[in-house]
Amino acid sequence: MAKRTIPLLLLSTLIAVSPSILTAQDAQTPADLMNMSLEDLMKVEIDSVFGASGYKQKVTDAPASITIITSDEIKRYGYRTLADILRNVPGFYVTFDRVDGYLGERGFGPPGDYNSRFLLLVDGHRMNDNIFGGIWLGMDFPIDIDLIDRVEVIRGPNSSTYIASALLGVINVVTKRAGKAKDLVVSSGVASYGTYQSRLSYSQRLDNGLAMLFSGTYYDSHGPDQLYFKEFDSPATNNGIALNADGGRADQFFAKLSYDGFTLEGAYGFSRQHDPTASYGTIFDDPEERIDMSSAYLDLSYDHHFGSDWGYQARLYYDKDQYRGVYPFDASPDGGPSHVLNQDLTSGQDVGASFVVTKKLPLGQTLIAGSEYRDNFQQNEWNYDAQPYSLNLDSRESSSLWGVHIQDEIPICKSLTLDFGLSYDRYSTFGGTTNPRAALIYHPLEATTLKLLYGQSFRAPTSFETYYAIPGVAEANPLLKPETARTTELVWEQALQKSFHLVVSGYYYPIRGVIEAVTDPASGALVYQNTGRVDLKGAEITLKRQSRSGWEAGLSLSLENARDLADSAPPTNSPRVIGQASFSVPLFKRTLFASMDLQYVSKRGALDGEPAGAYVLPNFTLFSPMALKGWELSASVYNAFNQIYADPASVAHVEDLLFQNGRNFSLKLTYHFFSR
Amino acid sequence: METRSAPANCRAAIAGLRGIVRAVIGLLVSGALLFEPFRAPAQGSDDAEYRVKLAFLYHFTQFIEWPPEAFSDAAAPLMICVAGPDPFAGEMEQGLRGRTTNGHPIQIKRLKPNDDLKDCHMIFVRSSERKAASKILSALKGSSTVTIGESTDFVTGGGIINLTLDQNKLRFEINLEAATQTRLKISSKLLSLAKIVNVGRIP
């Protein structure tokens, strides 16, 4: 059991969030805005994106291709996890191995890569752990999805703005801010497979400017009673049926205090997920197999601006991430006991500091310069068998890194801007790396934006890839180098009549030195090497409409042409076509929203055997905000047509394909105590 | 980002490029429904920006007093004119429906070339109308029309109010000198929330 490092008193002082009334997206109608006082209007934030340049700017000015998902959409479409949000981002797809979700983008989504090619930020705080470089998209992401104000997805490399590793994209989660009125919220949900979830939140902004938000969430799921795996269909392994082997639970705590430019924020999450797939050669249908994850952070930041011309942001942070996998296996073929519990553990801790200055220069230039230092003072991995005890791995590492970056936004002409960035990062492990980025942003017409983007980025080898070694199973490789990508993208954003918005983009991403697990012919063990070479090419088209009367619709089509240069074939788990659609309509004077989202993912190759077939997943949600004073109600059906579909499995699995859940339901009731 | 001034040598090139882009885009989208390059309501984020800006304009009408002769009668509408593309067209301006100031219903319209500027009680000059702005401002000298802009040089050029974005929030500047040359009365409440700009000392 992972240690609970956050005391339960947090639970008792609970917790937090008012619908963030102060963004123009949330303030629903023009009439609502006019009813606000001028003072309050001056506090309304206009929807903007923070992540692409590290400072707030309008989406069409950002040097990247960006999608924003708001809390309003999260409610309307009944998204439950970060995975639900991201699978609706144009060109993205999510693969599940019944423990974790793996994010794919632009035809690149190796199963089991822990999402280390994406950078995940929460309010600017880095969430990737320092062992796997991973991010977690299910209940193991420590922030309750209902605390999110918006998610900004920035495609492409961003290494020149953030220290370390944003090879394929940045996901910036922005949490809600406390509203002026105190808000105490209780939210409870039930869902298929014996799933229960409750949240208690409290938020308030005091007259002296101190804003606070506290929240706690409890989640428990029994999981499907039976899951069938044809690879284990023999009488010795219960005819391939795993009984009650897919349950999980999670606890999440979040607190945020802000006052006069200072923000102190902390989160803690613990999750346990049982694994019914008998991964890593374990005993099938054994309820002991489970993955425990805990992650915690503390982040103190200070934002200061001198007039509108310059400002800085300073940040201090601490992270602690732990993992424990329990793997029951049968050692009798080697003369051991028939039931051995193998324990696989990691513990990572780091502290760091960053400082970023933004300055407006003459001729309309905006200069951003920053630096960051991080001390990964603990990067430990263990593996042992319990009873009889046998230590297989005891690796205690530490490392450090620092980086500097500079970016200048230079208006060449009134409608043409050059955005240039350069970064240097130095790792104690493999050395230094320099990465440039450039963007030309052209507004030829008021409603038209053209962006030509070029970037170079890298992903540092993770501690797991470098040091995980068990004789005969896995070998260390301290000589690993970073993966590199040189990406070119052309984006056309067009505002059309009647609030339609069109985005068309084409891209070319060659990625070199991709770190892959290969078998050492001498020992038969797996070792990570920089052997992969992948070319990603494709085009995406998205058409969206948000009407002021409250209905919205979106349609996107992505054509991906990814090639693994080793065999000129698409890499594993690379769909050629992704289609996404969403539609939401307000009913009964906006007291009810009926919404649908749909994902289509075409056939994808598996590591072995038959490919995973194409699937269509339509999900429907009815959401009622404040139909009765203070109450919100949400009812969803996911995979509504009970599509039978599977995702490719990773090297950890005997299975080639892992079948996913059929039609399932959820119901959620939320009550705001101080609702007026 | 409308604050940049374009070096002169760029303009011809940009004008040429703009023509090409307009033609290409027109061609690409003409088959697809709904394209209208000259009056495109802005997309998502701009939309939010102008929703807030319209609310600001509405509030300004509540804190400014026009001289009685600015209206033909007690129930005559208060006209807000938009110079340049109208970002408020459609459902956004429905938010003004039924709203009045001192009994005058508020109406909004896009300025056409031959319109008499003095019929407008308020003119919102889009940042794209850099050239037209100076003409409008000089034509309105001594009138009772509130000029409102959205680019940094608007008040230094003689405009009365300018909307600015500061850390993604909307702010406004008032040029007191320009305001005192009119017969408008601006309430102290509005002045207290504004950044007062003294044109003589602008760098």
Condensed to tens digits (0 to 9), the pLDDT of residues A54-65 reads 555 666 677 777
pLDDT attached to residue B123: 93
pLDDT attached to residue A25: 42
The beta-carbon neighbor of A445 closest among B5, B22, B93 is B22
B202 inside 8 A of chain A by CB:
no
Give B35 to chain A, closest Cα distance, Å. 5
pLDDT attached to residue B3: 36
In this structure, are residues A414 and A446 in contact, taking their beta carbons and an 8 Å threshold? no
Angle at A491 between CA A490 and CA A497, to 5 degrees: 150
- Give B-chain residues touching A38 at CB under 8 angstroms: 56, 59, 63, 190, 193
Instruction: State yes or no: pLDDT of A446 exceeds 80.
Output: no
Does residue B60 sit in helix, strand or coil? helix
pLDDT tens digits for A579-604? 999 999 988 877 899 999 999 999 99
pLDDT, mean of residues A230-240 = 90
Handedness of CA B112, B114, B115, B117 (dihedral sign): positive
B155 inside 8 A of chain A by CB:
no
pLDDT tens digits for A625-672? 876 788 999 999 999 999 999 999 988 899 999 999 999 999 999 999
pLDDT attached to residue A411: 85
Most confident range, picked from A27-36, A295-304, B127-136: A295-304
HSE toward the beta carbon, residue A466, CA cutoff 13 A: 22
- Tell if the CB–CB gap between B164 and A36 is shorter than 8 Å: no
pLDDT, mean of residues A496-510 = 88
Cα separation, B122 vs B145, in Å, equals 5
Higher per-residue confidence, A25 vs A670: A670
Q: How far apart are the first and last CA of chain A?
A: 44
pLDDT, mean of residues A503-527 = 91
Provide the pLDDT confidence category of residue A381 given band limits of 50, 70 and 90. Answer: very high
pLDDT attached to residue A174: 92
- Tell if the CB–CB gap between A24 and B51 is shorter than 8 Å: yes
Percent of chain A with pLDDT over 70: 91
B16 inside 8 A of chain A by CB:
no
Of A342-346, A571-575, B129-133, the range with the lowest mean pLDDT is B129-133
In this structure, are residues A175 and A123 in contact, taking their beta carbons and an 8 Å threshold? yes
Does residue A455 sit in helix, strand or coil? strand
pLDDT, mean of residues A324-328 = 94
pLDDT, mean of residues A377-389 = 92
- Give B-chain residues touching A41 at CB under 8 angstroms: 52, 55-56, 59, 170
Cα separation, B101 vs A474, in Å, equals 77
Q: How far is CA B116 from the centre of its chain?
A: 16
Angle at B161 between CA B157 and CA B162, to 5 degrees: 75
Q: How far apart are the first and last CA of chain B?
A: 19
Task: Please give the residue of chain B at the shortest CA–CA distance from A413.
Answer: B6
Provide the pLDDT confidence category of residue A289 given band limits of 50, 70 and 90. Answer: very high
Structure tokens at B39: 């009056």
pLDDT attached to residue A358: 85
Give A37 to chain B, closest Cα distance, Å. 8
Give the full edge-to-edge strand order of the sheet including B161-166. B100-101, B104-110, B78-83, B122-125, B146-149, B161-166, B169-175, B195-197
Nearest Cα to Cα of residue A217 among A162, A275, A147: A147
HSE toward the beta carbon, residue A267, CA cutoff 13 A: 22
pLDDT tens digits for A530-563? 999 999 999 999 998 877 677 889 999 999 999 9
Percent of chain A with pLDDT over 90: 60
In this structure, are residues A78 and A55 in contact, taking their beta carbons and an 8 Å threshold? no
- Give B-chain residues touching A39 at CB under 8 angstroms: 193
**Mean pLDDT (chain A, rounded):** 87
pLDDT attached to residue B85: 82
- Tell if the CB–CB gap between A308 and B128 is shorter than 8 Å: no
In this structure, the dihedral spanned by the alpha carbons of residues A443, A446, A447 and A452, taken in order and rounded to 10 degrees, is: 0
Provide the pLDDT confidence category of residue A443 given band limits of 50, 70 and 90. Answer: confident
Cα separation, B36 vs B126, in Å, equals 18
C-alpha dist (Å) from residue B197 to A147, B166, B194: 40, 16, 9
pLDDT attached to residue B167: 65
Residues of chain B with pLDDT under 50: 1-8, 31-45, 201-203
Percent of chain B with pLDDT over 90: 12
In this structure, are residues B64 and B102 in contact, taking their beta carbons and an 8 Å threshold? no
Task: Please give the residue of chain A at the shortest CA–CA distance from B171.
Answer: A42
Cα separation, B137 vs B95, in Å, equals 28
Classify each residue of A563-578 as buried b or exposed e, where b means 16 or more C-beta atoms within 10 Å of its C-beta: bbeeeeebbbbbbbeb
- Tell if the CB–CB gap between A308 and B166 is shorter than 8 Å: yes
Instruction: State yes or no: pLDDT of A220 exceeds 80.
Output: yes
pLDDT attached to residue B4: 39
HSE toward the beta carbon, residue A606, CA cutoff 13 A: 22
- Give A-chain residues touching B99 at CB under 8 angstroms: 34
pLDDT, mean of residues A288-317 = 90
Q: Does B64 sit behind a cis peptide bond, omega within 30 degrees of 0 on the bond before it?
A: no
B39 inside 8 A of chain A by CB:
yes
Residues whose CB is less than 8 angstroms from the CB of residue A477 and which lie 6 or more positions away in sequence, other chains included: A465, A466, A527, A528, A529
Cα separation, A163 vs A373, in Å, equals 9
Give the full edge-to-edge strand order of the sheet including A125-126. A66-70, A148-155, A169-175, A118-122, A125-126
Q: Is 0.80 topped by the overall pTM?
A: no
pLDDT attached to residue A628: 77
pLDDT tens digits for A168-184? 889 999 999 887 778 89
pLDDT attached to residue A413: 81
